[in-house]
């Protein structure tokens, strides 16, 4: 159970044809509107998953912009996803935080799902930390663990966010994904966890499209493929970020054991409950590591 939130999307008229050109232009317009309210261009972006929004409480000099006030921005209206773009400082460093994300399953459109990441790049972000709540597949992990994402497997059967005509203004037709999760940024998270005496698991994140939770058979398949955790987000964001040259690191909050491994039924309420229990460690890890990533 992870990032299983439903979202009310407000993007463009349903009858309007979505092209990469229009997405590029929309992302520029959205960024321009945001920069009218913020005096700086942040180089660091953070995407917060289900129940992990408390991170923004540690930001100083905050400017909060609700998604619905940004032209073309998808809007989140679900428990655990506040739906705000939050600008602020940690340790004197300027950053922008997505307090809540969009999911592919809500619209079935990868371009809409990843539009916020396009906007972050237009704002100036060249580094990004993505977070999520995920189900543990690795049987040595436990609910409440934090996992550094070292790689991912894309099982989002609707396809990837780069399918279709490529726009060279965003990035190359065939972006390299051999280091989707930047080694240097990931090392910062490892070293920070060590100094905190915090156990930081490491593993491969496998993305299903959702919104239904995975079946036990699907979890067995993911386990065979080499997945350590499963979820319904993150991968499209990281693909698009790499396409635009944004360096990424990722952390999963393991909110439950996945179907067939867990005891009992899965529910989003449990995601929120477990995320709340690890919020303090999560926020401290992220806050200390991000300052060193600049």
Whether the per-residue pLDDT at 132 is higher than 50: the answer is yes
Determine, yes or no, domain membership for 126: yes
Q: How confident is the model at residue 13 (pLDDT cuts 50, 70, 90)?
A: very low
Whether pTM > 0.85 for this model: the answer is yes
Domain-embedded: residue 31:
yes
Assess if residue 232 is contained within a domain. Answer: yes
Range of the structural domain that residue 160 is part of: 20-293
Residue with tokens 């059967």: 157
Kindly report the CATH number assigned to the domain that includes residue 99: 3.40.50.1580
Average pLDDT estimate for 173-188:
97
Cα gap 64→289, rounded to integer Å:
23
SS3 call for 279: helix
Give per-residue pLDDT as tens, 142-155.
999 999 999 999 99
CA gap 59, 56 in Å, rounded: 5
Each residue of 196-229: pLDDT tens digit? 999 999 999 999 999 999 999 999 999 999 999 9
How distant is the alpha carbon of residue 50 from its chain centre? 10
Domain presence at residue 94 = yes
Distances (CA, A) of 155 to 108, 142, 208, 218, 248: 14, 23, 5, 10, 20
List all residues 6 or more positions away from 147 whose beta carbon is below 8 Å from its beta carbon: 134, 136, 141, 200, 201, 202, 203, 205, 228, 229, 251, 252, 254
Q: What is the pLDDT of residue 81?
A: 54
Question: In a 10 Å sphere around its CB, with 0-12 CB exposed, 13-18 middle and 19+ buried, how is residue 16 labelled?
Answer: exposed
Which tens digits make up the pLDDT trace of 77-126? 555 557 899 999 998 899 999 998 989 988 888 999 999 999 999 999 99
The length of the chain is 294
Counting the structural domains of the chain, the total is 1
8 in a structural domain: no
Q: Is 10 a member of any domain?
A: no
Q: What is the pLDDT of residues 155-179, one digit of tens each?
A: 987 789 999 999 999 999 999 999 9
CA distances from 210 to 5, 6, 105, 186 (A): 10, 10, 6, 27
253 closest CA partner among 155, 126, 147: 147
Q: Hey, which residues are catalytic here?
A: 50, 81, 103, 105-106, 133, 232-233, 256, 268
d(CA 120, CA 27): 9
């Amino acid at each position: 159970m992870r990032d299983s939130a439903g979202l009310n999307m407000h993007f463009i008229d349903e009858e309007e044809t979505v092209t990469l050109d229009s997405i590029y232009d929309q992302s520029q317009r959205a960024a321009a509107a945001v920069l009218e309210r913020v005096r700086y261009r942040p180089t660091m972006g953070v995407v917060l998953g289900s129940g992990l929004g408390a991170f923004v409480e540690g930001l100083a000099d905050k400017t909060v912009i609700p998604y619905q006030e940004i032209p073309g921005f998808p809007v989140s209206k679900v428990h655990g996803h506040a739906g705000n773009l939050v600008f602020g400082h940690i340790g004197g460093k300027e950053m922008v935080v997505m307090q809540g994300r969009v999911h592919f399953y809500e619209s079935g459109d990868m371009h809409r799902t990843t539009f916020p990441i396009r906007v972050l790049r237009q704002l100036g972000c060249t580094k990004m930390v993505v977070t999520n709540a995920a189900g543990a597949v690795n049987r040595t992990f436990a609910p409440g663990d934090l996992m550094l994402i070292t790689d991912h497997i894309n099982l989002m059967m609707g396809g990837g966010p780069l399918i279709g005509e490529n726009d060279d203004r965003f990035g190359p037709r065939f972006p390299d994904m051999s280091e989707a999760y930047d080694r240097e940024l990931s090392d910062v998270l490892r070293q920070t966890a060590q100094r905190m005496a915090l156990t930081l698991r490491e593993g491969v994140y496998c993305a299903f499209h959702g919104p239904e939770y995975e079946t036990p058979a699907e979890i067995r398949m993911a386990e065979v493929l080499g997945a350590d955790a499963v979820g319904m987000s993150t991968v499209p964001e990281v693909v698009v970020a790499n396409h635009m040259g944004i360096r990424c690191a990722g952390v999963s909050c393991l909110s439950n054991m996945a179907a067939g491994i867990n005891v009992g039924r899965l529910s989003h309420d449990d995601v929120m409950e477990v995320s709340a229990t690890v919020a303090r460690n999560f926020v401290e890890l992220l806050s200390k590591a991000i300052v060193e990533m600049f």
